[in-house]
Chain A
Amino acid sequence: MFTWLCGGALAVCVLLVLVLMGILAVNGFGYFWQKPVDLVVLDDGTALMGEIHDREEIDEGDGPTGRFRIRMKLGNRDLTGSDFRWIDQDRIVDQSRPADALVLERMEWGNFYGSPVELRRDGELLVAGVMDIRSTLPSLHRKKLALLADIHELETGAIGDVNYEIEERTRALRKLQLGGGDPTRSDASQAEIDARNRAYRQLAEQLSVFREELLRETLVMEAADGTRQEVPIGSIVRAIEPNSLDTGEAVSLYFSRIREFLLDDPREANTEGGIFPAIFGTVMMVFIMVFAVTPLGVLAAVYMREYAKQGWVIRAIRIAVNNLAGVPSIVFGVFGLGFFVYLVGGSIDRLFYAENLPAPTFGTGGILWGSLTLALLTVPVVIVATEEGLAAVPRSTREGSLALGATKFETTWKVVVPASAPGILTGIILAMARAAGEVAPLMIVGMVKLAPSLPLDHHFPFVHLERKFMHLGFHIYDVGFQSPNVEATKPLVFATALLLVVIVSLMNLVATWVRNRLRSKYASSAV
């Protein structure tokens, strides 16, 4: 019977994993699927339109009552102030799915649910009637999207460049003044700044023309309760008629949403839109970390395995390094804050960026400090894996190399280390997986909820290690727990969590696969 109990324990573990992955998958993948839109009429005559998200038994404090209530996403936040509403099912007198129901995903204020009334240009009637709107809207909307792309191009391109140049020259000017340089040079750079300010004003004017154009046409919508609302076409992300979608359209909508999620910038304080900056920040942080952790870990492991005398000192160090892997990550965060940010970063600021003080450049959290902190956190992983890889290289290989006249250095770096490359690779992948999922230390040393710019762009020196960055894991924490509208953002967080779990699990599986290959390779070659 004890066997069965043990088996049961293992079964529970597997079951837990399955349930957890199931929850993540259902909620995460479900986020992108367009639900039908229901029109509900209550007993007091109120008409509500929205997506039904939940259904549960009403519990009035003393057990289930047998009555149910549903939770509807009503959107129209600009009109009603809240996204969701619980409705007793007893109160519903009529429920239907009108074919002309239109969902507008907007840049601001979230979704709008209603039916289209007319299209206007400059306040004048352009087109009325559902059929005509249906035929005119898509082409108009495409034009506006193209215009939006132009605006984005202008903002990040020309305007961004000018702003960057102004900033750089202002800083240089301040540096000049601090150094007490000659006034003619500072006058010259002041003139340069003024010229760029003029260029900026010109570009800004152009931008405002674009923006006006964006708002010229509006779509008048009627909410379920009859309120009308004008929505500028330029502020619409997508217009969907969910109740008349065929399967093909629904699937293509599904994938277009996944694309938006992965590749677009967030909107509405991270609660809508994509998570591209977070993905980018995570990836970049992990890669910088790899650059730091690989030489550190490999050198330390080669030293410990190939060079150091295998006495009690090395044994003690090995235990210490192993145990470092068990030290809580928050401790590394605290160390990173004290050492990298305040001590190293503060010193760099005083030496090289004195013109910015008291505003810190490196003396505050940034992607470099985050990466280095995680490099320390994951270096034991690389050391252990590399040592394992080195140990797996058969003695005969080493002796063969030495016998052929190679020096110890040549043997180590040309024979042994390349032979243990899969072990090193395993360590690096495991370190990357650990780093990608780690949040606690990064909260302290450099993550922000919304970074204004990516740490990589076309301005010299292209990689901006001092910038703050966004991170998938922190995104989950921040949007899930610090956002004002948790209910509305939960699906997005589920999708983010799913993405993170998929990335981390994939990395782990790859690492395991590499390690197994390494094992079998040497198992067969060690004759």
Chain B
Amino acid sequence: MDRAGSWLVRGSGFVIIASILGILLFILIEVGPLLGGAEVAVRGSFSLPGPDASGGIADDYRSRSGFLDPTGRITVLSIPEGETVLQTDALSGTDLLTTAAHRSGRFFTGTTSTGEVLMLPFSYRYEWNGDNRSVVPEPGEARLFHLAGPDEPVLLYDISVDPDGGTTVVAWTGGDRLTILQEREEESFLGDGEIVETRTTRSVPPTVSSLSLDDTGRHLFAGTTEGDLLSWDLEEGIDDAVVAERDGRAPAVTATTLLLGGRTLVVGRADGSIGIWFRVRDDGQLLLRRARVFETMSRPITTLTPSPRNKGFAAMDDSGRLGLFHSTSHRVLWTGEAPVPNPAALSFSPKADGLVVTGRNGFAELDLHNPHPEISLGALFGKVWYEGYEEPSLTWQSSSGTDDFEPKLSLVPLLVGSLKGTFYSLFLAIPLGVLGAMYASQFMHPSLRGVVKPAVEVMAALPSVVLGFLAGLWLAPRLEEVLGSMILLAFAAPLTAILTGLLFSQLPARIRHRLPTGLEAVATIGTLAVSGWLCLRWSAPFEQLLFGGPMKHWITDILGLPFDQRNAVVVGLGMGFAVIPIIFSVAEDAFSNVPRHLVAGSLALGANRWQTVTRVVLPTASPGVFSAIIIGFGRAVGETMIVLMATGNTPIMDWNPFNGFRTLSANIAVEIPEAPHGGTLYRTLFLAALLLFILTFAVNTVAELVRTHLRNRYANL
């Protein structure tokens, strides 16, 4: 019985403690996958009936893959069985020179020997019969765009279809002109749509080696064998291209493509480097700027394909080496050899969970498990140059309405926000907490205990949601009106306390001795209340005197700083209130545990109370004060409700006390209810929680060790 009971207690006690500490482990496990690379496996290799087929177009469930070969035949295979489910002549009697799958995965393209560019829509229809699904391939109506004479085969081309259905085709047949054909549906007077076709040309160096059109069909990019990048805005009728900055003698451009959303140009070169280029406005002109470069591949890049889900892309070089990359995080997710001989084309499946590699006589399917490509340590903590930004920045913006949004997951603005809130609250809490604790432990008359202790306990027990509510809804609108009084108060409060003391010492001894020592706090409560009230009353004249009007206007108009009603000062006051009792009780503990004989000795040697406190008590207890401060820091860093309610929660990064901010903790509270389980945002928020955990745990451990050390020292004194 006894032994069993003993084992029971031991076992369960140990399990409880282990499971408490398991919290850290669990959070670590949830964060772990963030930094993992892509896992790639070959799902199968299949042969195709004809040679030189295009890249494949897969359905949403990766159960079918469709190909177009140069005879104009579409072949659809079932995966992984490899059976032919559809074989149809989409273009009878037309011979194709080349075929390809468009990067959008919505149509095949090709060129004919008679100077035409082919666009052949291809999609899948899903039919549900109970829980059974059948996938039906649906080739569309082929269209041929005549862009050159019958004896001029098209050498380079690109097609883009904008969201409104307008089509743009660009083609180059050698020589120094590009032909551009644009089809736009325009409302006619009668209200019915009318297709308007415009045909233009642009001049181009004869060394052009790659063409890319963005998704709007407005911006055209070209690379040359001399290593130059050219761009045109097709809506401006300017013939000559804007040439991107030439960085010395760059290797020849061998492939280009646009990432999801069409705002980022990816440039592969003959030396295997892959550059990421943004259009940036500079002096009113849109220029191409290189944001980053991948130098993993070493052979000329032949193919670049963007991911349909994120800002990643796949690349292949002429030795058949494949690579998976992500632009935002600047990560090389995977590299490996192509699973088919003579690989020619790459295409993603619609959910980016698979890659189809087409070779000369067949194709292979790769399984991609690549859950968090957009995360790297650089993306989380370093400056990242995002699409549409003028320069690299530290930004948190996790979601947006559009599908092609680039998540910006830098934790730095949130960390800075946490530190900012903590800084302003400690600004209030340290002086009040430490000085108050010193008074309570060294000078206070015992009869005051009955007031001070409950007051501090109430202060410590106040739910933070109540403090946040008062700070955000009661204090913030009032503080805005009396900003000046905050400055006044910062000086007036200590002065009042000291002046009260001075005045008191001038009083006749008879009256003075009626107040026993240790009741100074009672005397100052009255004067402080009066001076506080006066400060509030005189706020407006004071602001008038100092700033020539309300201080709020001075901040926004003269300093040009933004002003939020819910700002760092409000948080400082609200959170300071929450931190004061923590600092107070730890510091009081340290002060009052200073061995009595030290104090008694000091007093006996003739030092007065004040000398004893500053020369004996304070130096002895200083490690305790330090741990009080860092415990207060730990509390403030993780506080959620007060900052959530008393700031605007905008993730801006500055130290302006009149601006809002967003902390790590508030960010978790705001975003985790919307974050899909297991997604990148979810795990990033777990990482934020982990940071908070480690930060506070480390800080508290240091404080605890310091206190233990101090206790031992007291015992030895």
List residues of A whose CB falls within 8 A of some B CB.
Answer: 1-18, 20-21, 23-24, 59, 61-64, 296, 299-300, 302-304, 306-308, 317, 319-324, 326-335, 337-339, 342, 376, 379-380, 407-410, 412-413, 433, 436-440, 443-444, 473-474, 476-477, 480-481, 486, 490, 493, 497, 500-501, 504-505, 507-509, 512
Q: Which residues of chain B have C-beta atoms less than 8 A from A304's C-beta?
A: 13, 17
CA distance A21 to B459 in the complex (A): 10
Most A CB atoms within 10 A — which of B434, B613, B700?
Answer: B700
Residue of B nearest to A407 (CB): B2
Across the A-B interface, give the 10 residue pairs with the lowest CB-CB distance, nearest first: A303-B13, A328-B638, A8-B497, A437-B463, A4-B501, A9-B435, A6-B439, A7-B520, A409-B5, A440-B640
Contact for B640 among A1, A21, A329, CB less than 8 A? A329
Q: What's the least CB distance linking B249 to chain A, in Å? A: 53
Partner of A300, one of B13, B435, B502, B550: B13
Are A299 and B9 closer than 8 Å at their CB atoms?
yes
Chain A residues whose C-beta falls within 8 Å of the C-beta of B584 in the assembled complex: 13
Q: Judge whether B401 is part of the interface by a CB distance below 8 angstroms.
A: no
Q: For the complex, what is the distance from the CA of A23 to the CA of B474, rounded to whole Å?
A: 9
**Interface membership of chain B positions 587-612, coded 1 if the CB is closer than 8 angstroms to chain A and 0 otherwise:** 00000000000000000000001100
Contact status A11-B528, CB under 8 Å: yes
Which of B454, B465, B580 has the most chain A CB atoms inside 10 A of its CB? B465
Would A439 and B465 count as touching, CB distance under 8 A?
Answer: yes
Q: Is B16 an interface residue (CB 8 A)?
A: yes
Provide the residues of chain A in CB contact with B27, threshold 8 Å: 331, 334-335, 338
- Residues of A with C-beta under 8 A to B134: none
Given A11-B528, A17-B459, list of 12 further CB < 8 A pairs?
A7-B524, A14-B525, A15-B529, A300-B20, A303-B16, A333-B672, A334-B689, A409-B6, A433-B461, A444-B672, A473-B641, A480-B472
Pick the residue among B457, B577, B644, B686 that contacts A20 (CB under 8 A). Answer: B577
A residues in contact with B522, CB < 8 Å: 11
- Provide the bound-state CA to CA distance between A267 and B186, in Å: 53
Residues of A within 8 A of B524 (CB): 4, 7-8, 11
Determine if B14 is an interface residue (Cβ-Cβ < 8 Å).
yes
A443, B498: Cβ atoms closer than 8 Å: no
Assess whether B470 is in contact with A12, with CB atoms less than 8 Å apart.
no
Interface flags for B466-479 (1: CB within 8 Å of A; 0: not) read 10111011100000
Q: Tell me which residues across on chain B come within 8 A of A322, comparing CB atoms.
A: 700, 704
Question: In the assembled complex, how far is the CB of residue A195 from the closest CB belonging to chain B, in whole angstroms?
Answer: 29
Mask: chain B, 26-54; 1 = CB below 8 Å from A; 0 = not:
11001000000000000000000000000
Contact B9 A15 (CB under 8 A): no
Known: A3-B609, A61-B553, A62-B549. A327 touches B686 (CB 8 A): no
19 example contacts (A-B, Cβ-Cβ < 8 A) are as follows A4-B520, A5-B501, A7-B523, A8-B500, A11-B522, A23-B474, A300-B17, A303-B12, A322-B700, A326-B697, A330-B640, A330-B692, A331-B696, A338-B686, A433-B461, A444-B668, A473-B463, A473-B465, A508-B458
Q: Judge whether B381 is part of the interface by a CB distance below 8 angstroms.
A: no
Which residues of the partner chain A approach B23 to less than 8 Å between Cβ atoms? 324, 331-332, 335, 376
Docked Cα-Cα span, A505 to B497, in Å, equals 30
Is the C-beta of B546 less than 8 angstroms from some C-beta in chain A? no
Once the chains are docked, how many angstroms separate the CA of A379 from the CA of B638? 19
Contact with A along B545-577 (1 / 0, CB 8 A): 000011001000000000000000000000001
Chain B: number of interface residues, binned into ranges = 35 or more
Shortest C-beta distance, B9 to chain A (Å), equals 5
How far is B527's CA from A8's CA once the two chains are assembled, in angstroms? Answer: 9
In the complex, chain A residues whose CB is within 8 Å of the CB of B395: none
Contacts of B6 in A (CB 8 A): 307, 408-409
Q: Is the CB of B17 within 8 A of A9?
A: no
Identify the stretch in B118-126, B198-206, B347-355, B629-637 within 8 Å (CB) of chain A at 4 or more residues: B629-637
Q: Which residue of A lies closest to B461 (CB)?
A: A508
Contact partners of B468 in chain A: CB under 8 A: 477
Cβ-neighbour of A317 out of B17, B30, B543, B645 (below 8 A)? B17
Give bound CA distance, A10 to B472, whole Å: 25
Known: A63-B540, A64-B540. Contact between A323 and B692, CB under 8 A?
Answer: no
Give the docked Cα–Cα distance between A407 and B3 (Å). Answer: 9
Whether B701 contacts A323 by the Cβ 8 Å rule is yes
Nearest chain A residue, comparing its CB with the CB of B529:
A15
Q: Mark B611-635, 1 if CB is under 8 A from A, else 0.
A: 0011000000000000000010011
A412 contacts across to B, CB distance below 8 A: 9
Query: Which residues on B sit within 8 Å (CB–CB) of A438?
Result: 463
Contact check, A436 vs B501: say whether CB atoms are below 8 A apart.
Answer: no
Q: Cα distance A13–B455 when bound, in Å?
A: 8
Partner of B469, one of A338, A379, A497: A497
What's the nearest-Cβ distance from chain B to residue A441, in Å? 9
Q: Are B635 and A337 in contact (CB under 8 A)?
A: no
Structural contact, A413 and B5, CB atoms closer than 8 A = yes
* Choice from A14, A330, A512 contacting B665 with Cβ under 8 Å: A330
Are B502's CB and A1's CB within 8 A? Answer: yes
For B642, give the chain A residue with the smallest CB separation: A440
B673 within 8 A of A: yes
A93 to chain B, nearest CB (A): 29
Interface centre among A12, A320, A324, A480 (most CB of B within 10 A): A12
Taking a contact as CB atoms under 8 Å apart, the answer to whether B685 and A10 are in contact is: no
A464 to B12, CA, bound (A): 28
B412 at the interface (CB under 8 A from A): no
- How long is the Cα–Cα vector from A408 to B9 in the complex, in angstroms? 12
Contact at B20–A330, with CB atoms within 8 Å? no
Query: Using Cβ atoms and an 8 Å threshold, which residues of chain A touch B474?
Result: 23
Let me know if B432 and A9 touch, CB within 8 A.
yes
Tell me the complex Cα distance, A283–B435, Å.
38
How far apart sit A443 and B529, CA to CA, in the bound complex (Å)? 38
Tell yes or no: B153 within 8 A of A by CB. Answer: no
Residues of A within 8 A of B12 (CB): 299, 303
Of B436, B470, B540, B549, the contact of A13 (CB 8 Å cutoff): B436
Interfacial chain A residues near B20, Cβ < 8 Å: 300, 321, 324, 376, 379-380
Give complex CA distance A333, B692 in Å.
Answer: 12
Nearest-CB residue, chain A, relative to B678: A342
Interface assignment of B431: CB less than 8 Å from any CB of chain A: yes
8 Å CB contact of B673 from A380, A444, A501? A444
Cβ–Cβ < 8 Å partners of B466 in chain A: 24, 437, 473, 476, 497, 500-501
Residues of B within 8 A of A473 (CB): 463, 465-466, 641
B672 touches A490 (CB 8 A): no
- Bound-complex Cα distance A328 to B463 (A): 14
Q: Is the CB of B501 within 8 A of A307?
A: no
CB neighbours (8 Å) of A16 from chain B are 459, 577, 580
For the complex, give the distance between the alpha carbons of A300 and B496 in Å: 51
Is B377 in contact with chain A by the CB < 8 A criterion? no
In the complex, B544 has a CB within 8 A of chain A: yes
Chain B residues near A61 (CB-CB < 8 A)? 550, 553
Are B645 and A477 closer than 8 Å at their CB atoms? yes
Residues on A with C-beta less than 8 A from B17 are 300, 303-304, 317, 321
Does any Cβ of A come within 8 Å of B281's Cβ?
no
Quick check: B697 and A493 within 8 Å, CB to CB? no
Q: Are B13 and A307 touching (Cβ within 8 A)?
A: yes
- Report chain A residues within 8 Å CB of B461: 433, 437, 504-505, 507-508
Query: Is A6 touching B634 in the complex (CB atoms < 8 A)?
Result: no
Known: A307-B13, A444-B673. A4 touches B469 (CB 8 A): no
Query: Within the assembled complex, what's the spacing in Å between the Cα atoms of A439 and B609?
Result: 45
Q: Please tell me if the beta carbons of A331 and B692 are within 8 angstroms of each other in the complex.
A: yes
Q: Nearest residue in A to B521 (C-beta to C-beta)? A: A7
Say whether B16 contacts A296, CB under 8 Å.
yes
B638 close to A330 (CB less than 8 A): yes
Q: Which residue of A lies closest to B531 (CB)?
A: A8
Contact status A4-B498, CB under 8 Å: yes
B669 touches A326 (CB 8 A): no
* Nearest-CB residue, chain A, relative to B451: A14
Interface residue B507 (Cβ < 8 Å from any Cβ of A): no
The interface residues of chain A lying within 8 Å CB-to-CB of B609 are 3
Confirm or deny: B10 has a beta carbon within 8 angstroms of a beta carbon on chain A. Answer: yes
Closest to A305 in B: B13
